[in-house]
Amino acid sequence: MATDSLKFDNLIRVLEDYGKEAEALYKAKLTEGRPPYGTKNASGELLNSVKWGMKVNDRTYEVTLELADYWKYVEGGAQGRATSPFGAVYPAHWPPPSAIRQWIDIKPVNPLPGKNGRIPTPDQLTYLIGRKIAMKGIEPFPALSRTVEELNAKYSEKIAEAVSKDVAAFVPILFSSFNYRDLANSK
């Protein structure tokens, strides 16, 4: 049999391009301003966490994106008790007050006076925003799924061509090491 095994060098090059473009495109989608919510880059934590990688096993080639843990709430939204935004994936819950407070400090939030004419303190504002999220949820911002859809449409043909080239390059190697005499003598 062949001493060389099938190598997918062309596929690996295409998947490296896919991974680099996935990282860049996802970051771009996180920072594009969309009314009414603007970007999803208040602290920059999610944006700075995006790193692409590739895992190659015996039979699988996988492009991965490393993301901050809360990416799923940005992507799928969160359900509220009173209403559930369309497509919200994660159940209603109170968000962590520390995360809300950090968001208030980073984003210049200018609270309006309440019915009593007073402007809420940062702790009161943290509670009010957390309560609203728990009641009404968070709209989904499907930047990752839009990124994957775009890249799959762009790369599906390139991936098929790369695999075809890799297999075509291996066929002559396979047949050159095949011993027809051994096959004839075995009958």
Over residues 114-137, the pLDDT tens digits come to 889 999 998 999 999 999 888 888
Which letter does DSSP use for residue 115 in this model? T
Gyration radius from the chain CA atoms: 26
In a domain, 175, yes or no: no
What is residue 87's predicted lDDT score, i.e. its pLDDT? 63
Count how many domains the chain has. 2
Q: Within this chain, do residues 73 and 3 fall inside the same structural domain, yes or no?
A: yes
What is residue 1's predicted lDDT score, i.e. its pLDDT? 41
Q: Tokens 């208030």 identify what position?
A: 104
In a domain, 6, yes or no: yes
Q: Within this chain, do residues 73 and 105 fall inside the same structural domain, yes or no?
A: no
Over residues 42-75, the pLDDT tens digits come to 778 888 999 999 999 888 999 999 999 888 888 8
Structural domain boundaries enclosing 97: 78-139
CA angle 137, 142, 143 (to 5 degrees): 130
For residue 41, which amino acid is it? N
Q: Within this chain, do residues 61 and 99 fall inside the same structural domain, yes or no?
A: no
Q: Within this chain, do residues 65 and 29 fall inside the same structural domain, yes or no?
A: yes
Q: Within this chain, do residues 49 and 89 fall inside the same structural domain, yes or no?
A: no
User: What is the mean pLDDT of the segment spanning 141-153?
Assistant: 94
